[in-house]
Structure 1
Amino acid sequence: MGFFYCILELSISQITRFMNLFSEIRDEKENILPFDGIVNYYGVCIPFDEANRYYDKLLQHLAWKRDLVVMFGKRIETKRKVAWYGDRPYKYTYSNNTKLALPWNEVLMEIKELTEQITGESYNSCLANLYHDGSEGMAWHSDNEKELKVNGAIASLSFGAERRFSFKHKVKNNKVSIILEHGSLLLMKGTTQKHWLHRLPPTKKQFTPRVNLTFRNIIDHP
């Protein structure tokens, strides 16, 4: 009821655009992991023209900065850029680097609300990643930092270049890979982060940027 109540206050063009966003969502959202976790791939949820609009706005209006990681005791600046947003100025620490969340901007809030409608989950923060080309990727890791809600849902939206995304079981070494398309949505939840690693492998076949939004939940202490 909440979604349909809200759209009564929108213009006809806005209603049409929002309904079109839902029209291409896949009915079946199978778990692509064989066990020990849940990963649902919704496929392309945002039509091509709308995804292009979001892609351009995200490139222009997010506070992109090169990421910092600590390796062998040295702080290294990555080629990949990131931006961190949230309901409050949440602190988020990974790779020995702490970030302070910025307040939501208009485009991120619009995408967040859409993502919540599709997944049936709520999110209070978003880590955005900008990969300039296929040479930039992400090594094997789990999103299991102490600030994150245990077994919380993480929604990953992709804009721009298609990239392969891979999972590897921490004990049994099973691997699963999927191609993340422009305007697509992938949802990780349950015990996925406990039992599986994931990565974005580099590739020589892609020369254009990819923007990735990962909506998540920081533990909100009073």
Structure 2
Amino acid sequence: MSPYFLADSSALKKDKLDNVRCYFEGFFEGHTKILSFSGETPNPSAFPGLKTMGSGTACIQGSTMTDDLFTDLQQKDLPFFLPSASGYSSSWNENYQGFDLAIPNGELFYAETFFDPKESDRSLEYFLENDTNDWRATDWRALEREQLSEVRFKNIEWQHDKLMMYGKETYLPRYSAWYGDSDKPYTYSGLTLHPKPWNNGLLTIKDKINDVADVEFNSVLMNWYRDGNDYMGWHADDEKSLGLNPVIGSVNFGEARDFVLRRRDNAEKLVIPVKHGTLLVMRGELQHFWEHSVPKRTKRNHDRINLTFRVIKL
């Protein structure tokens, strides 16, 4: 098969090479020489900058390429530490622009900016806008607990739940709300939540992540962290109503926080940064072998809204 010469891999689009395997034969006059293609040979007209140099040969004009063809197309840097031990691996998912991660007894999908800045900004505004306070300027922590019910939120019915702990009522260190299908109540830590009906904003987000998670979510738990002093303790989403190997879709808007995973049988931990617009999907056996938390971060001063989408089966 006639050779091709390649100088700038950025000019190629990976989706046009999915069925093509290239065999390299070193460098030739500053260009990488591709000895042959297996599969369908690319049409030079399909690639910007690709020019015919003669019968059966072509070249992409540009800077000299110093690595192989797919370096620029496939190599992405995971923005947090993943152990190199057995059972851990990551690969870039081009379709969903995120990382597929394997960890011992679990699977993750992580997209740092799954929602673009415009979508993320509007979502945060949508969740907090109200007829009473300027959501951007209000010190929500300074509100007395009774005052929250006086705020007329337009889209989300936030509440401050409390639990009985050691015989004493204790308020959770965050605000929350539960939305979903009308027949899907949810019980955790002795607290039973009855869902409020879906609204357009939540359905838009749910529809966008259903495809990534490959499930049809039917409920969402929303948590509003007013600042870094609000937190979530160690737990697993392994309630009976979620069934075996539940899929959890976690969406984050607002302040960046650490999401920490630890194995139940040892002290092994994984710290994952969740930012404005991040999507994290947990699946496989993960909820049965790992716990997770959102620890305090006292230097974080701004609101964070987290939505954890679930499939309630019982």
**Which band: TM-score by shorter chain?**
0.7 to 0.9
Partner SS state of residue 102, structure 1: coil
Q: In structure 1, what is the Cα distance between the partners aligned to 2:227 and 2:273?
A: 15
- Is the Cα contact below 8 Å between 1:161 and 1:209 reproduced in 2? yes
Return 5+ residue gaps in structure 1 as ranges. Answer: 1-23
Partner SS state of residue 214, structure 1: strand
Residues 49, 217 of structure 1: CA spacing in aligned structure 2 closer, same or farther, 3 A cutoff?
same
Across the aligned residues of Structure 1 and Structure 2, the Cα RMSD in angstroms comes to 1.6
Residue of structure 1 equivalent to 2:166: 72
Q: In structure 2, what is the Cα distance between the partners aligned to 1:137 and 1:181?
A: 15
- Is the Cα contact below 8 Å between 2:252 and 2:306 reproduced in 1? yes
- Is the Cα contact below 8 Å between 1:164 and 1:200 reproduced in 2? yes
Q: In structure 2, what is the Cα distance between the partners aligned to 1:63 and 1:130?
A: 11
Q: In structure 1, what is the Cα distance between the partners aligned to 2:119 and 2:97?
A: 20
- Larger Cα-atom Rg: 2
Cα offsets for 1:139-168 (capped at 9, x unmatched): 110011122132121000000000001000
- Is the Cα contact below 8 Å between 1:25 and 1:42 reproduced in 2? no
Return 5+ residue gaps in structure 2 as ranges. Answer: 1-93, 130-154
Counterpart check, 1:47 vs 2:112 = no
Cα offsets for 1:68-102 (capped at 9, x unmatched): 22211222122411110111242211111111011
TM-score (norm 1): 0.83
Residue of structure 1 equivalent to 2:128: 59
- Is the Cα contact below 8 Å between 1:82 and 1:129 reproduced in 2? yes
- Is the Cα contact below 8 Å between 2:158 and 2:177 reproduced in 1? yes
Aligned length: 196
TM-score (norm 2): 0.60
Q: What one-letter code is carried by the residue in structure 1 that aligns with 2:108? A: V
Q: How does 1:90-129 map to 2 (within 5 A)?
A: 90-129=184-223
Q: Which runs of 4+ in 1 moved over 6 A?
A: none
Q: 2:305 aligns with which of 194, 205, 211?
A: 211
Partner SS state of residue 160, structure 2: strand
Greater per-residue helix proportion: 1
- Is the Cα contact below 8 Å between 1:40 and 1:187 reproduced in 2? yes
